[in-house]
Amino acid sequence: MAEQDLNAIAFPTFDEAQMARIEKYASGTPKKFQAGQALFHVGDRDVEFFVIKSGEVEIVDESGDQPKTMMTVGAGQFTGDVGHLTGNPKVVSGIAKTDCEVYQISVETLRGLLNQDPRLSDLILQAFIARRQVMRESGDFIGLRVIGSRYSRDTFRVRDFLAKNRVLFTWLDLEGDPAVSQVLEQFGVSEAETPIVACASRVLLRNPSNLELAETIGIRRSVEHTVYDLAIVGSGPAGLAAAVYGASEGLNTIVLDSTAPGGQAGSSMRIENYLGFPTGITGGELTDRAVLQAEKFGARISIPTPISKLSFDKAYSVLELDGGESVTAKCLLIATGAEYRRLNVEHCSRFEGAGVYYAATANEVEMCRGTDVVLVGGGNSAGQAAVYLSQNARKVFLLIRGDDLCKSMSSYLAHRIMNTPNIEILRCTEVAAMSGDDHLSSIEILDKVAGKKRTIETVAVFSFIGATPRTDWLPAEIERDDKSFVRTGITLADSPHWKLKRQPFLLETSRPGVFAAGDVRSGSVKRVASAVGEGSMSVQFVHEYLKTM
């Protein structure tokens, strides 16, 4: 999309009829601000939605060394972004450039407006989405600063966590950024203290845990002490679909995830076979839209919120969280998905985050641009990653254990890979050894047919092999198959844990009122569209179950 078109979407102007409708939602008479007065500051939460009646307001980036005006909005325009619905803190400040009058709309009233007025809703939501895209693509917005070495596992972990949670940040590489020494001196920290997370001229954290980072920058929302109609564990496509349908149909819904929204699909750089997106969509874009949609309808999303234990109190599910809190719900949806298996190679775990990766996004690409990389796996996720990496790496070696790429990968993707000049397919091949000091430097591969070994110099191996379900937190009452995927539906009719006379619903587990959807479910189709379908469908069974309570 052209920059001019994107800015037009990001900063639309309401016409007279739309302003008249806005006035009906506003609280009281327009509020007056004098020139230089702040409507809101970076870091503020639960800020009202401001629509400018007269005058001008500057949108200011204060995350750099000096405040910088990014945009000026005038009469008929509005402030705000996706943080209005997600509850995240403001990433910019709004300062009155001239004396001005603004309509104020509370967060709850804004949510009502978005659900009741489709025309205004379309303009506002499209603007919210486009504004984050403008900031990401501008190259001028600094946001948080992460300072650390490309060879540090903790630096990668911090960057990965921020990227997956769509937090705007700038990375300063100790090895590659010429300004880093000056910045460290400015902050008064040594290389040994990195990675550090800073905002403007202030150091926020030194090598924080993910939870500490989330709480400090304000992206983690606390859970309410109430009984939810539906608790969803996992915020991949299945979990988010269930959140959208559950909340839109009036269920008090909460979503919990240990890391970030999106699941495996969230890290895909291009999904081309998802219905309705003929030119493809990135997993990040799909996740952003789904989260905004769920929040629009009132679902509560709390991340990162790891679950330590599931137990039951009579008919209710009780989720015990790390830190001692708990969430109680009438119905539970298990949508924790699956994660790629570790390579069965000595020293593999030592290089995770320092040469061994389980996703191929812009975050990982920065570590290996212009080098040779190795990708292991023959499924669609591996194929999408190979195509994406080929645009940035000098060469991609794709290792598959079989002899035919088309057996496990969509035909269109397999043929695209075979026609990409800098992708070399190594059939019947596996990784035999890894070498390096603090960071991966080379691997040894084995051709299982010829019995020959070969060394490849590489700083990055991407693993997309098989899937291990995230079910280790589940109690024995939730039956799993021999690969630990959750069993559901008619296969449980003779289960010793099933106590009711009726048969289990299609997505119901061995515990009544507990459902499973997406990749974590035994027998599921490992596709984004299938996960979305199952998550959506599960809400119908939730309604049926709630009728019996």
pLDDT tens-digit readout, 490-526: 989 788 889 898 999 999 999 999 999 999 999 999 8
Band (pLDDT 50/70/90 cuts) for residue 383 is very high
Q: Pick the range with the lowest mean pLDDT from 132-141, 210-219, 300-309.
A: 132-141
pLDDT of residue 45: 84
The alpha-helical segments, DSSP class H, found in 177-264 are: 180-187, 210-217, 237-248
SS3 label, residue 98: coil
The DSSP 8-state label assigned to residue 138 in this structure reads: H
Provide the terminal-to-terminal Cα distance of the chain, rounded to the nearest Å: 50
Q: Which helix (H) or strand (E) holds 400?
A: none
Kindly tell me if the per-residue pLDDT of 3 is higher than 80: no
Band (pLDDT 50/70/90 cuts) for residue 302 is very high
For the chain, helix (H) and strand (E) counts, in that order, are 14, 28
The DSSP 8-state label assigned to residue 89 in this structure reads: P
Q: Tell me the C-alpha distance between 134 and 127, whole Å.
A: 10
Most trustworthy range by pLDDT among 78-87, 277-286, 424-433: 424-433
Q: What mean pLDDT do residues 393-402 have?
A: 96
Q: 265, exposed or middle or buried, with CB in 10 Å at 0-12, 13-18, 19+?
A: buried
Q: What mean pLDDT do residues 449-461 have?
A: 95
Q: What mean pLDDT do residues 299-312 have?
A: 94
Kindly tell me if the per-residue pLDDT of 35 is higher than 90: yes
HSE, CB side, 13 Å, CA atoms: give it for residue 248: 18
User: Would you state the torsion angle of the CA atoms of residues 41, 46, 47, 51, taken in this order, to the nearest 10 degrees?
Assistant: 150
Q: Tell me the C-alpha distance between 235 and 303, whole Å.
A: 9
Q: What mean pLDDT do residues 264-270 have?
A: 86
Task: Please state, rounded to an integer, the average pLDDT across all residues of the chain.
Answer: 92
Kindly tell me if the per-residue pLDDT of 2 is higher than 80: no
Kindly tell me if the per-residue pLDDT of 378 is higher than 70: yes
Q: Pick the range with the lowest mean pLDDT from 232-236, 372-376, 405-409.
A: 405-409
pLDDT of residue 164: 92
pLDDT of residue 4: 60
Cis bond upstream, residue 30 (ω within 30): no
Question: For the stretch 529-541, what's the b/e string if a residue is b when 16 or more beta carbons lie within 10 angstroms of its beta carbon?
Answer: ebbbbbbbbbbeb
Cα–Cα nearest to 473, from 322, 316, 261, 264: 322
3-state secondary structure 471-525: CCCCCCCCCECCCCCECCHHHHCCCCCCCCCCCCCCCECCCCCEEECHHHECCCC
Kindly tell me if the per-residue pLDDT of 283 is higher than 60: yes
Q: Tell me the C-alpha distance between 431 and 355, whole Å.
A: 14
The full set of domains in the chain, from first to last, is 3-134 (2.60.120.10), 144-217 (3.40.30.10), 227-338+513-547 (3.50.50.60), 349-463 (3.50.50.60)
**For the chain, percent of residues with pLDDT exceeding 70:** 99
Kindly tell me if the per-residue pLDDT of 285 is higher than 60: yes
pLDDT higher at 199 or 540: 540
Q: Tell me the C-alpha distance between 261 and 240, whole Å.
A: 8
Band (pLDDT 50/70/90 cuts) for residue 124 is very high
pLDDT of residue 543: 98
Kindly tell me if the per-residue pLDDT of 316 is higher than 70: yes
Q: What is the pTM of this model?
A: 0.91
Q: 314, exposed or middle or buried, with CB in 10 Å at 0-12, 13-18, 19+?
A: exposed
Q: Tell me the C-alpha distance between 147 and 182, whole Å.
A: 12
CB 510 within 8 A of CB 479: yes
Q: What mean pLDDT do residues 110-130 have?
A: 93
